[in-house]
Structure 1
Amino acid sequence: MLKKRNIYIAIFIVSLIGLAVIQYQYLRIGLNLAKLQFNTKLGKVSNDIAQGLEAANQLTFLIRSAVKEDTTYFTSSIDSVQDASRYFLNDYIIEKLVNNGIETDFTYTLHSKDSSFYLQSPKRFEVNDKIESYPIELIGYLPKELEKKVILELKFKNLNNFFLSKLNGLTLPSILFILGICIAIIWVLKTYYWQRNVITTTNEFINNLTHELKTPVFSIGLATKILEESALNEQKPILGMIRQQVKRLTVHIDKVLELGNLESSNNVLKLDKIDFRPYLLKLCEEFSKLMEIEEVKFSYDLQQGGIMLNAEVFHLENSINNILDNAKKYSVQPIIKLKGYSLNNQFFIEITDNGIGVSEEDKKKIFLKYYRVNDKEVQSVKGYGLGLSYVKKVIEKHKGKVIMESEKGKGTKISLILPLCNE
């Protein structure tokens, strides 16, 4: 159990790491695509800015006057002219960036190619900020007026944060989905192991209870045997019936005990190659005698010749007895038939009855442990919902399968299909 849990946890961790690595790779690809898209847009911005500043206009004339410190055509001081040119140029760049879908912080400097400083944007970045620069060489009016090559250098900080903001449609859902998967898997594992603990506790309780029941059952059987020695002839059939029922009760107690062992995956079934026909014939004969006493119609038809199976007789007999017992309990005037035959290297045991039947919805759950059909006719019969669960587990341990055919109010047919041994 601990080994399985460790395997599940290891698979979960490896899967989670793998998913995180894949998401990281997708994120890197997304960032690269965002950067490529940004560079493409910025190339368009650079062309727009260069073309806008190429001709003589109010903005380029204002910049030229600020750089040359020429106030001939202005009544303001040179400082005011320079401040005005900074803000107007800043607004012009913002307009071009926004028009091309770029909305992030930037600064700029206007300088010559020999690094002579002309203008700087009103906003400044901190010295420690991670900055990326994109120079734009201006043409036309300004280089001619200044008689130098003029560079407008745009600077952006923390572009990765900007790219990530553009990828929020991918990154945020990815993180949420990973968290959702983690929560779901942790909840499933926690629920699974909680249920396993509940099952273990329940099995321990059932085992303790059934062990306690064995003592009074043994005492009743012993007392019946003693009474038979001195009983009158007319009393012996009644005592025989008591012994028969004590035997059946012992079988049921053993069945509950073994069901717990089957669920805990203990190797309680030792399959041996046997001819099952004599055992099945004896089971049918004993059940037939019991049904005669209870005035129940029971018939059986077994194929001639051997029935070679890899089987554990005790549990296989208990399973068949359980189905026969259900056929009797859930019928008003029972008519029960058992048929055993071989077909396609498989042995079929078909048990049919004329009982109350099972609905389509209940057939899906009838083999679950502790499940009982919610019907007045069924609830009137005492039971714990263990029998068919036990039957299914035993047949599956024999590498067989159980098929139920039933219709409400028209009876039930249960087929146990077991693989035959190759001679």
Structure 2
Amino acid sequence: MNMFKKRNLYIALLFISLLGLAFVQYQYLKIGLNLAKLQFNSNLGKVSGDIAYGLQSKNQLTFLLGSALKRDASYFTLSVDSIQDASSYYLNDYITEKLVNNGIDTDFSYTLHTKDSAFYLQSPKKFNAKYNVESYPIELNGYLSQLLGKRLVLELHFKNLNTYFLSKLNSYTLPSFLFILGICIAVVWVLRTFYWQRRVITTTNEFINNLTHELKTPVFSIGLATKILDETAEENQKPVLGMIRQQVKRLSVHIDKVLELGSLEAEKKVLKLEKVDFRPYLINLCKEFSTLVTIEKATFHYRIQDGKFVVNTEVFHLENAINNILDNAKKYADHPVIQLNASVKNNALVIEVLDNGRGIPINDQKKIFLKYYRVTGKESSVIKGYGLGLSYVKKVVEKHKGKVVMESVVGKGTKVTLLIPLCNE
């Protein structure tokens, strides 16, 4: 699976997870609404019992309500309409008290009427027909029914109960929706940053590719010129020309390395692994490096175990990776002393490169294989580089299904170990 498919898979998984989270939250909300409704009905049942019990016997409120329903003003100095208005307000306050005492604090209205609506009393508040109104009847027995000689019903009306239930759940649902919104914003920001970085990397790679292609022409010209000069050169000049050719070859390899690194990061299959005995190539590489460091006044020793090193590899890239490590080993010491050991252990080719350089701090060891990362210090300003070498090494070794291990002590030196799985012959 290439990087593009993996990225799309992760993005799809992320959005599916968000949708799943939203769906689960919706289901919890439905359950919460149902529980709120059950609790409301339970509380309303208690309210109904309290109201029916309070209006069962004769008292000031029931006497006033009876006079209002019968339109009897003989016991009052007020008009019938005034008695009815007063009764509506007193009954409204009475019902409000019972509702609040049982945990219900939403708007309501009511009607007090007989079954045939011969006697009728309405609450001061009236709901518009556009509201979703639910009604709960309470049958009243006792004094008022006996007074009127008819069955009496107090009908409570509540508007938009779902909105009321939601308001009760806001302390739970609102933070959940805010968290989901926060996750969505963070995801969008991460994706936007990711695509912006991909565009920057793509632009950078295009620039590097163009630059390295342009460098190939002068490198080829220098190589061609040294071949021409070699035909007429004197014997004492040929070692110098040989060194020029070797360095031109190394420069060409470095150019190819930069190009191939971009391909490796794009997950292109640029490595064609083949079963090869790598020992002869490793010996030749060590001999060439030994010649080079002799000229640069460095010390290099190598010890390669006898036998075959049969691995699945692309020789070009594995050689480049080892050359990178050797090149780093001689850069960071005043009088470089480098040792390469190669052996077979636990069905793996183990290549160790040890040096007596300045060493790498522990914090930097975790980042040293990142692309473009360089250890800060005086030597980093003197020794030029782009932080690509070890990143390239790590990618090449990983393509070989191996791993790179670094051990370093500041002031004493560094050991880099490559572990490449052997082939079963």
Partner of 1:47: 49
| RMSD over equivalenced CA pairs, Å | 1.7
- Residue 408 of structure 1 deviates from its aligned partner by 1.9
Alignment of 1:247-326 (within 5 A): 247-326=249-328
Partner of 1:344: 346
Quick one: distance in 1 between partners of 2:366 and 2:169? Answer: 47
- Residue 275 of structure 1 deviates from its aligned partner by 0.6
Quick one: distance in 1 between partners of 2:30 and 2:401? Answer: 51
Letter in structure 1 aligned against 2:323 = N
Letter in structure 1 aligned against 2:16 = V
Alignment of 1:149-228 (within 5 A): 149-228=151-230
- Residue 324 of structure 1 deviates from its aligned partner by 0.2
Quick one: distance in 2 between partners of 1:155 and 1:415? Answer: 81
Letter in structure 2 aligned against 1:219 = S
Partner of 2:334: 332
Letter in structure 2 aligned against 1:414 = V
Name segments (4+ residues, structure 1) moved above 6 Å. none
1:130 to 129, 132, 140: 132
Quick one: distance in 2 between partners of 1:25 and 1:116? Answer: 47
- Residue 13 of structure 1 deviates from its aligned partner by 4.2
TM-score under structure 1 normalisation?
A: 0.95
Letter in structure 2 aligned against 1:346 = A
For residues 305-340 of structure 1, what are the alpha-carbon distances to aligned partners after superposition, in whole Å with 9 as ceiling and x for unaligned?
101100000000000000000000011211111111
- Residue 22 of structure 1 deviates from its aligned partner by 1.9
- Residue 70 of structure 1 deviates from its aligned partner by 2.3
Moved more, 348-357 or 6-15: 6-15
SS at match of 1:167: helix
- Residue 404 of structure 1 deviates from its aligned partner by 1.0
SS at match of 1:399: coil
Counterpart check, 1:401 vs 2:403: yes
Quick one: distance in 2 between partners of 1:412 and 1:200? Answer: 34
TM-score under structure 2 normalisation?
A: 0.95
Moved more, 96-105 or 393-402: 96-105
Contact 1:330/1:378 (8 A) holds in 2: no
Contact 1:291/1:298 (8 A) holds in 2: yes
SS at match of 1:84: helix
- Residue 6 of structure 1 deviates from its aligned partner by 5.3
SS at match of 1:218: helix
Quick one: distance in 1 between partners of 2:349 and 2:49? Answer: 85
Partner of 1:144: 146
- Residue 4 of structure 1 deviates from its aligned partner by 5.8
For residues 15-36 of structure 1, what are the alpha-carbon distances to aligned partners after superposition, in whole Å with 9 as ceiling and x for unaligned?
3433332222111111101111
5+ residue gaps, structure 1, are: none
Contact 1:107/1:155 (8 A) holds in 2: yes
Residues 201 and 172 of structure 1: CA distance in aligned 2, closer, same or farther (over 3 Å): same
Quick one: distance in 2 between partners of 1:263 and 1:301? Answer: 33
- Residue 191 of structure 1 deviates from its aligned partner by 1.7
Letter in structure 2 aligned against 1:194 = W
Contact 2:348/2:422 (8 A) holds in 1: yes
Contact 1:136/1:153 (8 A) holds in 2: yes
Quick one: distance in 1 between partners of 2:411 and 2:114? Answer: 99
Partner of 1:381: 383
5+ residue gaps, structure 2, are: none
- Residue 7 of structure 1 deviates from its aligned partner by 4.6
- Residue 165 of structure 1 deviates from its aligned partner by 1.0
SS at match of 2:288: helix
Counterpart check, 1:85 vs 2:90: no
Contact 2:70/2:119 (8 A) holds in 1: no
Partner of 1:74: 76
Residues 56 and 130 of structure 1: CA distance in aligned 2, closer, same or farther (over 3 Å): same
Quick one: distance in 2 between partners of 1:89 and 1:61? Answer: 12
Moved more, 70-79 or 249-258: 70-79
Contact 1:366/1:373 (8 A) holds in 2: yes
Contact 2:137/2:153 (8 A) holds in 1: yes
Quick one: distance in 2 between partners of 1:218 and 1:32? Answer: 80
- Residue 10 of structure 1 deviates from its aligned partner by 4.1
Partner of 1:370: 372
Letter in structure 2 aligned against 1:343 = K
SS at match of 1:422: coil
1:94 to 76, 93, 96: 96
Quick one: distance in 1 between partners of 2:252 and 2:134? Answer: 86
